Structure 1
Amino acid sequence: MAKLYFAASLFNEMELAYNAQLAARIRAEIPGLEVFVPQEQGEINDKNAYADSKMIAKLDTEAVLASDVLFAILDGQVIDPGVASEIGVAYQAGIPIVGLYSDTRQQGATHPEKLAALQVLAESQFSYINLYTVGLVKLNGEVVASSDAAIEALKKYV
């Protein structure tokens, strides 16, 4: 059975709900895929309980290294630092990575006024994403713009 590690921020209701919904969809659309979702690991990620940094790093790193593919949500003001670390571990281990970057500000990339605004200080119409982390994803996999595309990409790696 193929294993997937689901790397995503998990610190508010919106993130938790989105992760749960998307993990359920991945499980439904890719039968037989074992999906490891850190927020489902109550012994380590129950925020009412206690886990120190070494416990979290050990469990999550072991789960990444036991995976056949890493799925990483890249959305947010910045890529979540934990997700970036998990991407680094997967990259170094040669594990394929599918990154989801669904930021809608990427739409209209050829619009002339948006392109002209790039020349005006503090007027970029586009989002920024850390290029080093994205480079690691692209060197071992791909970045997609929707959950539909992510599921199709994951099917290629499992």
Structure 2
Amino acid sequence: MNIYFAAPLFAKSEQLYNQSIVSELRTEYPQLNIYLPQENATINDKNAYANSEMIALADTQKVLESQLMIAILDGAVIDPGVASEIGVAYAKGIPVLALYTDTRQQGGRHPEKINALNEIGENQFHYLNLYTVGLVKLNGAVVSTVEALKEALQKYLK
């Protein structure tokens, strides 16, 4: 099975996080062929040159060759490239498993957090773009831990 791993990839912390998850998945599921865009030096070696068309063509081809996408939704906003990749996957009927680990999603029933929603500037929760999340949920799932991601992945390995 080909899997496209859609994730922010420009900060070293993002690259290390992506690599740690992909390494764990590759070790646990050696039968999977996981494409991690940051490993494609042709378009992502930032000391070299790749224009927008080269990047769009290379990554879109890999999305289209995939039977499943894993997408990281963490960040101040969903990474624009990840959102675009999710859109391509949705349009082509490729399921998406999205990982969203933001700790601000915890305590969703806490009454003071709920009441704080009525105060300007006191939102205790993180907002995700609902259109992008909707595309994921229409043909996949959003999970909050790597363990839950592995559990959800099992459904597609059968």
Aligned-pair CA distance for 1:147: 1.0
Counterpart residue number, 1:69: 68
- Note the C-alpha offset of 1:157: 1.6
- The CA deviation string for residues 66-121 of structure 1, in whole angstroms up to 9 with x for no partner, is 00100000000000000000000000000000000110001011101000001111
Say if 1:3 and 1:35, in contact at 8 Å, map to a contact too.
yes
Q: Quick one: percent identity of the two aligned structures?
A: 59
1:156 is displaced (CA, Å) by: 1.4
Aligned to 2:139: 140
Question: Which residue is equivalent to 1:97?
Answer: 96
**What does 1:1-158 correspond to in 2, within 5 Å?**
2-158=1-157
Matched residues in 1 for 2:109 and 2:95: separation? 30
| Cα displacement string for residues 2-50 of structure 1 (whole angstroms, at most 9, x for unaligned residues) | 0100000000110010011110011112220000000000111101100
SS of the residue corresponding to residue 129 of structure 1 reads coil
CA RMSD of superposed structures (Å): 0.7
Cα separation, 2, equivalents of 1:26 and 1:152:
12
Higher mean C-alpha displacement, 144-153 vs 67-76: 144-153
Number of residue pairs aligned between Structure 1 and Structure 2: 157
Q: Secondary structure at the match of 1:155?
A: helix
Consecutive unaligned residues in structure 1, runs of 5 or more: none
SS of the residue 1:122 aligns to: coil
Secondary structure at the residue paired with 1:22?
helix
Alignment TM-score, normalising by the size of structure 2: 0.98
Structure 1 segments (4+ residues) deviating >4 Å = none
CA distance in 2, matches of 1:151, 1:99: 11
1:152 Cα deviation (Å)?
1.6
- Aligned amino acid, residue 63 of structure 1: K
In structure 2, give the amino acid aligned to 1:81. P
Q: Secondary structure at the match of 1:134?
A: helix
Q: CA deviation at 1:153?
A: 1.1
